[in-house]
């Protein structure tokens, strides 16, 4: 997935545009109200939170696809439920299920883009 495809995928999933900013793609100003930013410095890709002029939790990626997949996953993961903390076994199961769901969603999105399904 590239940056243009990422923006389209986030729109299709109903992610509010004020939650993210893709440098060179997003058609509005960066507000600094906690957006997750996807940027490129010429040699590597990065994401970071941008809040009140501060860049926080910077992560680096070797490829555009890796950075886009990360941002897509962060923007589409369900909110953490309220309640008692999970046991380590429950945490592991939740991580595994989330990874499976994200992989399935990416596969569905790519299949829709190419017009192919797994059965073809």
**Mean pLDDT, to the nearest integer, of 21-32?**
84
Report the pLDDT value the prediction gives residue 78, as an integer from 0 to 100: 82
- Domain spans, the chain: 1-74, 77-120
Report the pLDDT value the prediction gives residue 118, as an integer from 0 to 100: 53
Q: Is the pLDDT of residue 84 over 90?
A: no
Asked if 37 and 20 touch (Cβ cutoff 8 Å), the reply is yes
pTM: 0.64
CA-based nearest residue to 26, from 3, 46, 49, 42 = 3
**Mean pLDDT, to the nearest integer, of 109-117?**
77
* Averaged confidence pLDDT in the chain: 87
Report the pLDDT value the prediction gives residue 117, as an integer from 0 to 100: 54
């Amino acid at each position: 997935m590239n940056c243009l495809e990422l923006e389209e995928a986030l729109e299709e999933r109903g992610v509010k545009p004020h939650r993210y900013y893709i440098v060179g793609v997003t058609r509005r100003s960066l507000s600094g109200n906690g957006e997750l930013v996807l940027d490129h410095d010429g040699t590597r890709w990065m994401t970071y939170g941008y809040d009140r002029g501060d860049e926080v939790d910077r992560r680096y990626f070797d490829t555009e696809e890796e950075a886009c997949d990360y941002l897509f996953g962060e923007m589409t993961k369900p909110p953490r439920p309220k309640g008692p903390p999970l046991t380590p076994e429950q945490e592991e199961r939740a991580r595994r299920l989330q990874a499976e769901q994200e992989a399935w969603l990416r596969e569905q999105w790519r299949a829709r883009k190419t017009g192919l399904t797994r059965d073809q």
